[in-house]
């Protein structure tokens, strides 16, 4: 029974981490698009690979920060 409890706890932490990551990246992207003078999503739709690379780096940067923050709390 103890192992089942550990699985439930692990699942709870994984769900918490996933929700935290989704919220943080969503808010971070909104802030990034708000302070930027360009419409990034239109540029990506038009095939601007440079803007796509910038958005990918922003997403990965925020994901690394959130993941390290979640890991530090454990």
| 10-22: pLDDT as tens digits | 899 889 888 988 8
Q: For residue 47, what is the DSSP state?
A: T
Query: Model pTM greater than 0.75?
Result: no
Average pLDDT estimate for 46-54? 93
Confidence label for 68 from pLDDT (cuts 50, 70 and 90): confident
- In the chain, what are the domain boundaries? 17-73
pLDDT tens by residue, 21-49: 889 888 988 998 899 888 888 999 999 99
Q: How far apart are CA 47 and CA 65, in angstroms?
A: 28
Alpha helices in 1-74 (DSSP H): 2-35, 40-45, 49-73
Residue 66's closest CA among 31, 32, 16? 16
24 contacts 62 by C-beta, under 8 angstroms: yes
């Amino acid at each position: 029974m103890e192992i089942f409890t550990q699985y439930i706890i692990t699942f709870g932490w994984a769900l918490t981490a996933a929700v935290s990551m989704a919220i943080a990246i969503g808010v971070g992207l909104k802030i990034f698009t708000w302070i930027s003078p360009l419409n990034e999503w239109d540029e990506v739709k038009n095939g601007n690979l440079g803007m796509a690379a910038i958005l990918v780096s922003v997403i990965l940067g925020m994901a690394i920060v959130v993941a390290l923050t979640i890991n530090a709390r454990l």
